[in-house]
Homo-oligomer: A and B are copies of this chain.
Amino acid sequence: MTSGEPAGPEHRASKGHAALAYDRIRQAIVEGAYGPGDRLVEQRISEEFSLSRTPVREALRRLESEGLVVFRRNRGAAVRYLSADDVRDLYELRARLESYAAELASVRGTIRSYDAMDEAAEQFERQVGRSGDVVIAQDDRVRALSDTNNRFHQTIVAAAGHERLSQMLASAVDVPLVFQALRGFERSELQRSAEFHRMTAHAIRRGEGARAGRLMSEHILLGRDRLMEDLERGEGARAGNASE
């Protein structure tokens, strides 16, 4: 569900308080509990989580380096605000990076990683099929879809076997946006996404890297287009509203 950390059992003590704070703050941002521009006061958060400021601070700086949060000297952290232009840029960057990942995956991936990729693609398809007729509004559905979608993309990134690339993608994907985007998708769009997943996975497995890269890029840019429509219409909860 969250990206990056290897999915271990839920041992709170074994993870370290800083990592814990990181997970929780990140999730709060991704799901919109903290909106863009909200200040993240260390004292308040540390009380909320029953920790000291030190690990909270560490988590915040880590989130800063991933681009979810901005720091201003002596003024602390706030959830990053993204303009429509920022979103456009971010998606285009992501398209390039993930296209590259798809190319690499087609060369370096193992059979097992391909199987995992297909499995995620199939599950996504099933979830789309099961979802309601027009718009899937229920948060749980969106979350499940988002998780499966992330899993598909991350499987490919993992198959690419490029650690730094995977690290970068974690910060380029900007999960809040993906979450938002999926919420607005209509069923036909979800089906198209599922189809792109299938085609991309197929190309990767066959070793056709360039094709896989183009498909992946197109897939992501289609997502961008859809999201930009929403943002320009003004209903994005995360961007587009510039007033305090």
Contact = CB atoms under 8 A, between A and B. Distances in A.
Contacts of A167: 67
Interface in A140-180: 162-165, 167-168, 171-172
Contacts of A165: 89, 93
A58 to B, nearest CB: 6
A73 interface: yes
Number of copies: 2
Nearest to A58: B61
A162 B93 contact: yes
Interface residues of A, number: 23
Interface in A82-118: 86, 89-90, 93, 96-97, 100
A16 interface: yes
A96 B66 CA distance: 20
A183 interface: no
Contact of A65 (B65, B86, B172): B65
